[in-house]
Amino acid sequence: MQRPPGNSIASRDIATYLHSYTNLKKHETDGPLVVNGGRGIYIQDEAGKEYIEGMAGLWCASLGFSEERLVEAAIAALRRLPYYHTFGGKTTEIGVDLAEKLLSTAPVPMSKVFFANSGSEANDSVVKLVWYYNNALERPAKKKILARTKGYHGVTVASASLTGLPNNHRDFDLPIANIMHVDCPHHYRFGEPGESEEAFATRLADNLEKRILAEGPETVAAFIAEPIMGAGGVILPPAGYFEKVQAILKKYDILMIADEVICGFGRTGNMWGCQTFGIKPDILVCAKALSSAYLPISAVMISEPIYQAMVRQSEKIGVFAHGFTYSGHPVSSAVALETLKIYEERDIVGHVQAIAPKMQKWIRSFADRPLVGECRGTGLIGAIELVADKATHAPFDAKLGVGAYLAQRAQEGGLILRAMGDSIGFCPPLIITGDELDEMFRRFDKALGETEKWLAGQGLA
Ligand code: PMP
């Protein structure tokens, strides 16, 4: 590609921006996609071209890109009290309203809510809470946290350590001590030939128990999991997995942490992914759709026993020394509260239940195409995994960038998708209509056809 002209937004971007999750060298010549506006499930670039946002941004803009009520909620909150904090026992009414609302929707009884600004901050806080809790219980050795290969929990030092993807560790000197990874529950990729989902789940639970015993159960504090792994490639747990895993956690007094940053607020067809998969967490983390992404906010809900232990511990030194300048920000809280009201008034969960079969049918309609290995998903989240060999599930050489090629063709065709390796993710705004879903998959179909031709042209498909 040619370098963009000198005074364009693109060239100013190249001159100034350090981009998240971007090939920095390639960006110097390719430049950015400049996004200037949004309407419903669509975004617009600077030339006015519209794209269906098939990923709701980063799995987050659940009410789309033009929800006026959220704008009004932010303005009203800004006028009333543009900022205050929660240190030293301060609070705001809107923050309390939001905490009450969250606790009332929790999938299991929860006691208290801690607010932060992002999924990463929330998960970093969770690591500290787990350690604090075990110090409170005078179990100084019980500090290890088990996460899963291909899990995604963020990019700050502790949350990136929880994340189980090599790129987030390599060159960043991670993971930190006391965070370790166990099996990825992807049956299609890691199941033995002929192994049922149930048998696969049993094997993974056995491995988990062996690992806990090898580490010493007195050293293992918590297990963290997304109900559906998102950024790892939209990986659904095999049948029976969470039931078997939780039985083992219970046996060794290990906390269950649910990272609901993607699944929370209707995405899987229930309010929480925990409900879809029978998870009973001690700690629940949410973000993203909590405010439909209109302002940054995340929340950590903790159970009563955890809270009680923390209270006793904080008494010892007189303070629970954790929290952010913007924890419980009143404007973010107002937008989140309005978001939750909208979900309720419009029965967003009911809408997802009604429309999910169409999306899942569409995803599975590509199963017979030559490059398509696995079609998976539930609710309004899913993925199509492209493979070099459908019989053996062998992946393409990563250097070919097949997934990235398809995502680029889709973008040209007016559809934003995310390639996680060669798994193409679908996670549209929850407000998407049936007609819009049809259009999304027509655009995907075209991009897939172009990818098939490209590979066939190289003799690879
Ligand atoms: N947890 C999960 C499950 C996520 O998907 C993400 C973000 N994709 C995070 C945590 C981190 O959130 P953030 O990018 O807001 O720090």
> Do 342 and 67 contact (CB within 8 A), yes or no?
yes
Sketch out the chain's domains with CATH numbers: 33-66+347-457 (3.90.1150.10), 69-345 (3.40.640.10)
Q: How far is the C-alpha of 224 from the C-alpha of 123, rounded, in Å? A: 10
The pair of three-digit structure tokens given for residue 145, joined into one six-digit string: 């946290």
Cα-to-centroid distance, 390 and ligand 1 (Å): 31
The pair of three-digit structure tokens given for residue 261, joined into one six-digit string: 């940053």
The pair of three-digit structure tokens given for residue 226, joined into one six-digit string: 């997304």
ipTM metric: 0.99
Cα-to-centroid distance, 60 and ligand 1 (Å): 10
Q: What is the CA radius of gyration of the chain?
A: 22
Q: How far is the C-alpha of 183 from the C-alpha of 161, rounded, in Å? A: 15
Among candidate residues 356, 417, 409, 449, the one with its CA nearest the CA of residue 52: 417
Phi-psi region of 57 (alpha: psi -120 to 50; beta: other; left: phi over 0): left
- Paired with 145 in beta bridges are 179, 222
Phi, psi of 256 (to 5 degrees): -100, 120
Cα-to-centroid distance, 200 and ligand 1 (Å): 27
Q: How far is the C-alpha of 200 from the C-alpha of 216, rounded, in Å? A: 24
Q: State residue 3's pLDDT score.
A: 66
DSSP 163: S
> Do 122 and 298 contact (CB within 8 A), yes or no?
yes
Atom of ligand 1 nearest to the CA of 230: 5
Site to substitute for ligand 1 among 58, 59, 117, 120, most atoms within 8 A of C-beta:
120
Atom of ligand 1 nearest to the CA of 287: 15
Q: How far is the C-alpha of 337 from the C-alpha of 423, rounded, in Å? A: 34
Phi, psi of 113 (to 5 degrees): -120, 135
94, 146, 291, 342 from 346: Cα distances, Å: 22, 38, 15, 6
Cα-to-centroid distance, 430 and ligand 1 (Å): 18
Site to substitute for ligand 1 among 117, 262, 290, most atoms within 8 A of C-beta:
262
In the sheet with 112-116, reading across from the earlier edge strand, the strands are: 112-116, 298-302, 283-286, 255-259, 220-225, 144-148, 179-182
> Do 412 and 443 contact (CB within 8 A), yes or no?
no
Cα-to-centroid distance, 284 and ligand 1 (Å): 13
Cα-to-centroid distance, 306 and ligand 1 (Å): 23
Planar angle of CA 53, 57, 59, nearest 5 degrees: 110
Q: How far is the C-alpha of 111 from the C-alpha of 310, rounded, in Å? A: 12
Give me the tens of pLDDT residue by residue for the chain, a chain 461 residues long: 566 777 899 999 999 999 999 999 999 999 999 999 999 999 999 999 999 999 999 999 999 999 999 999 999 999 999 999 999 999 999 999 999 999 999 999 999 999 999 999 999 999 999 999 999 999 999 999 999 999 999 999 999 999 999 999 999 999 999 999 999 999 999 999 999 999 999 999 999 999 999 999 999 999 999 999 999 999 999 999 999 999 999 999 999 999 999 999 999 999 999 999 999 999 999 999 999 999 999 999 999 999 999 999 999 888 999 999 999 999 999 999 999 999 999 999 999 999 999 999 999 999 999 999 999 999 999 999 999 999 999 999 999 999 999 999 999 999 999 999 999 999 999 999 999 999 999 999 999 999 999 999 988 77
Q: How far is the C-alpha of 165 from the C-alpha of 148, rounded, in Å? A: 9
Ligand 1 pocket, Cβ-based, cut-off 6 angstroms: 58-59, 118-120, 123, 152-154, 226, 230-231, 259, 261-262, 287
Q: State residue 5's pLDDT score.
A: 73
* The one-letter amino acid at 322: H
Q: At 420, which helix (H) or strand (E)?
A: strand 418-420
Site to substitute for ligand 1 among 21, 124, 150, 152, most atoms within 8 A of C-beta:
152
Cα-to-centroid distance, 163 and ligand 1 (Å): 10
Q: State residue 460's pLDDT score.
A: 77
The pair of three-digit structure tokens given for residue 266, joined into one six-digit string: 């209707």
> Do 160 and 172 contact (CB within 8 A), yes or no?
yes
Q: State residue 2's pLDDT score.
A: 61
Cα-to-centroid distance, 184 and ligand 1 (Å): 18
Q: How far is the C-alpha of 351 from the C-alpha of 431, rounded, in Å? A: 8
Write the CB contacts of 171 (distance below 8 Å, at least 6 apart in sequence): none
**pTM, 2 dp:** 0.98
DSSP letters spanning 192-239: PTT--HHHHHHHHHHHHHHHHHHH-GGGEEEEEE-SSB-TTT-BPPPT
The pair of three-digit structure tokens given for residue 130, joined into one six-digit string: 């787990």
Largest CA distance in the chain: 70
